[in-house]
Amino acid sequence: ETQGFLTNRFISLEYSESEGLWAGTRSDGLYHYKNGVWTHFSGDDGLFKCRVDGLSWDENGDLFLATHLEGFLRLVRDTRPPDTFITSTPEKVIKGEHVVLALMGADPWMETQPDRLSFLWSLDQGPWRVNPGGQTLSVPIDRVGDHEIRVASVDINGNVDPIPAVAHFQAAYHWSNHPATIVVFFTSLIILGWSVIFFSVRYKYLKEAHQADLKYREKLEREVSLQTRALRQSDQFKEKLITNVSHDFRTPLTNLIGYTQLLESQRFGDLTSRQLEIVHVIQNNARRMKHLIENVAQFVRGKKNYPHYQKQRIDLKEVVISAFQDHMLSASSQDLDFDIICRDEDYIVEGNENLIFRLLDNLLSNAIKFTNPGGKVTLRIEKGDNGVILSVEDTGIGIEEGDLPKIFERFMQAHRGERDHLGGLGIGLSICKEIADFHEARIEVESTPGEGSTFRVIWRAGSIPEVVELQSEGVSD
């Protein structure tokens, strides 16, 4: 159809292996087919459109035509081949795309016009093929690597350029189709898949672990709550028990001390010196038992009970004198030199009288207990640059240096050598520390084994209320 054969009719045919196929038509001149290329000889080639009735070759290879209008003609053919040029070649192409070349041919004798030249091409030494695109060659590339393409022009006489034009180019993968990209892509998919699986399993595990942890915590909280409630009930029971027991013990002890004081006063009759000595022993042991009971009760109540005590302006001198008088008999029975050093002035602090008396009671009881007969115990109160200083000094057996840092801890009992049997429960000094802390005071100790100890309670100047003296107008001294 492209050659016009559907509207025309062949009148004569001639074929040879060397010359190809020649066809004479009824009204459109002569056609030649060789190497896959059709050539049409028409009026431009000296052959008008006419009927070609016959074709014949002579011994020289010339073709003779018997025509209807022009008579008997001889076709004289040019045997010189045309030249071929490739004017545009890309250096690189992408696999799967087309390499496009711009072609140009030239017939040295100008027998064939450039636009009538046809082209044959071969890729990578493959078979020759006809280019249907004229001066533009488009070849699909389906393999990566280096390629070579050869192009040869063909004139109307079937002459083929024996020295084809050659072009070299390289075909590469598109980045999306590159094996490395594919490997990376599928590797990423695998990693992503495993990551999803890993994190899914991990999330499930963590979720289950978290739920188990929550359940375990809830269980622990319930158990702790039950234990706390039980401990609170136990503490309340213990505190109530100790309070009741201490009250029950304190009442008869108070009566016992009162009756011994009556005996000591000899209001009901004179007593011998031996009898008075026995009364003093009873008094000392009763006071000691009462002191021990009060310490145990205070220890059980602990620090939580201190806020219930009210602070007010008090004169420490009165508390000191009261504590001194309360321990005179005990010191005398131990054959101790018991002194008080206190100037005749006011020592005003903010505090609770009962707690401060208990602090002094503990310090004096320890000093008397651990001082050998013939020794000395001194109760001193004075004003210093930093405030009011209350001290209890003794010439007793002292405290080992290793015991001093923990002397105010609960249940701490310092090593006393031969007097270890006199140690109490180890709570007296810890109560002194709690009382001092409650009053924002500082308690400290100095001791030398074999020479004695000194305990000081220091009220800071800031914790001592100012004493304002009021003087009415018009009143003279």
361: domain CATH number?
3.30.565.10
User: By C-alpha distance, which of 355, 343, 322 is closest to 441?
Assistant: 355
Q: Mean pLDDT over residues 52-73, rounded?
A: 78
Tell which of 268, 301, 334 closes a domain: 301
What is the structure's pLDDT at 421?
46
| CA 373 to each of CA 1, 331, 333, 334: distance values in angstroms, whole numbers, following the listed order | 148, 9, 9, 6
| CA 392 to each of CA 359, 364, 424, 440: distance values in angstroms, whole numbers, following the listed order | 11, 7, 19, 19
Kindly state whether residues 65 and 87 are assigned to the same domain.
no
| 365 has a pLDDT exceeding 80 | yes
Residue range of the domain that includes 166: 83-172
Across 15-29, 189-203, 372-386, 456-470, least confident range: 456-470
User: By C-alpha distance, which of 165, 158, 151, 17 is closest to 80?
Assistant: 158
| 475 has a pLDDT exceeding 60 | no
Q: In what order do the strands lie in the sheet with 72-75?
A: 52-57, 63-67, 72-75
User: By C-alpha distance, which of 22, 104, 95 is closest to 55?
Assistant: 22
Q: Is residue 264 part of a domain?
A: yes
Total count of domains within the chain: 4
Does the model's pTM come out above 0.85? no
Q: Is residue 379 part of a domain?
A: yes
Gap between the Cα atoms of 26 and 409, Å rounded: 136
Dihedral sign for Cα atoms in the order 323, 325, 330, 332 = positive
What is the structure's pLDDT at 43?
60
pLDDT band for position 382 (50/70/90)?
Answer: very high
| 300 has a pLDDT exceeding 90 | no
Structure tokens at 269: 């009759």
CB-based burial, 224-263: b 16+ in 10 Å, e otherwise: eeeeeeeeeeeeeeebeebeeebeebeeebeebbeebeeb
Kindly state whether residues 53 and 145 are assigned to the same domain.
no
| Helix (H), strand (E) counts: the chain | 5, 22
Q: Is residue 282 part of a domain?
A: yes
Q: Is residue 414 part of a domain?
A: yes
User: By C-alpha distance, which of 358, 369, 361, 359 is closest to 414?
Assistant: 369
Largest Cα separation within the chain, whole Å, is 192
| 407 has a pLDDT exceeding 60 | yes
Q: In what order do the strands lie in the sheet with 83-88?
A: 83-88, 98-106, 136-140
Tell me whether strands 337-342 and 376-384 are parallel, antiparallel or unpaired. Answer: parallel
What is the structure's pLDDT at 109?
61
Q: Mean pLDDT over residues 302-312, rounded?
A: 73
| 74 has a pLDDT exceeding 80 | no
Which residues have CB under 8 Å from 108's CB, separation 6+?
80, 82, 83
CATH of the domain at 111: 2.60.40.10
Kindly state whether residues 157 and 213 are assigned to the same domain.
no
Gap between the Cα atoms of 82 and 155, Å rounded: 6
What is the structure's pLDDT at 467?
45
Judging by beta carbons within 10 Å of its beta carbon (0-12, 13-18, 19+), is residue 113 exposed, middle or buried?
exposed
Q: Mean pLDDT over residues 397-410, rounded?
A: 88
What is the structure's pLDDT at 48?
59
Which residues have CB under 8 Å from 220's CB, separation 6+?
none
| 164 has a pLDDT exceeding 90 | yes
Tell me whether strands 72-75 and 63-67 are parallel, antiparallel or unpaired. Answer: antiparallel
Q: For residues 261 and 350, which has the higher predicted lDDT (pLDDT)?
A: 350
What is the structure's pLDDT at 341?
93
Kindly state whether residues 196 and 335 are assigned to the same domain.
no
Tell which of 172, 207, 241 closes a domain: 172
Checking phi first, is residue 141 left (phi over 0); if not, alpha (psi -120 to 50) or beta?
Answer: beta
**Is the Cβ–Cβ distance between 193 and 199 less than 8 Å?**
no
Gap between the Cα atoms of 51 and 43, Å rounded: 13
Kindly state whether residues 332 and 275 are assigned to the same domain.
no
pLDDT band for position 250 (50/70/90)?
Answer: low
Q: Is residue 474 part of a domain?
A: no
For the stretch 445-471, pLDDT in tens is 999 999 999 999 998 865 555 544 433
Kindly state whether residues 343 and 283 are assigned to the same domain.
no
pLDDT band for position 474 (50/70/90)?
Answer: very low
Which of 32-36, 393-397, 428-432 reaches the highest mean pLDDT? Answer: 393-397
Tell me whether strands 145-154 and 118-123 are parallel, antiparallel or unpaired. Answer: antiparallel
Kindly state whether residues 355 and 454 are assigned to the same domain.
yes
Question: DSSP characters for 342-396?
Answer: E-SS--EEEE-HHHHHHHHHHHHHHHHHTS-TT-EEEEEEEEETTEEEEEEEE-S
The half-sphere exposure of 243 on its side-chain side, counting CA atoms within 13 A, is 9
Structure tokens at 148: 């070579």
Judging by beta carbons within 10 Å of its beta carbon (0-12, 13-18, 19+), is residue 9 exposed, middle or buried?
exposed
- Amino acid (1-letter code) at residue 319: V
Q: Is residue 374 part of a domain?
A: yes
- Amino acid (1-letter code) at residue 410: R
Kindly state whether residues 263 and 317 are assigned to the same domain.
no
Kindly state whether residues 254 and 365 are assigned to the same domain.
no
Q: For residues 44 and 405, which has the higher predicted lDDT (pLDDT)?
A: 405
Kindly state whether residues 201 and 270 are assigned to the same domain.
yes
For the stretch 84-143, pLDDT in tens is 999 888 888 988 899 999 998 887 766 677 777 889 999 999 999 988 878 899 999 889
pLDDT band for position 414 (50/70/90)?
Answer: low
For the stretch 184-233, pLDDT in tens is 888 999 999 999 999 999 999 999 999 999 999 999 888 888 888 887 77
Gap between the Cα atoms of 154 and 107, Å rounded: 9
pLDDT band for position 360 (50/70/90)?
Answer: very high
Distance in angstroms between the alpha carbons of the first and the last residue of the chain:
151
Q: In what order do the strands lie in the sheet with 145-154?
A: 92-94, 165-172, 145-154, 118-123, 129-130
| 378 has a pLDDT exceeding 90 | yes
User: By C-alpha distance, which of 402, 396, 448, 403 is closest to 429?
Assistant: 403
Q: Mean pLDDT over residues 317-346, rounded?
A: 90
Tell which of 172, 201, 234 closes a domain: 172
Kindly state whether residues 316 and 448 are assigned to the same domain.
yes
Q: Is residue 477 part of a domain?
A: no
Q: Mean pLDDT over residues 259-268, rounded?
A: 79
Q: Is residue 373 part of a domain?
A: yes
SS3 for 404?
A: helix
Kindly state whether residues 52 and 87 are assigned to the same domain.
no
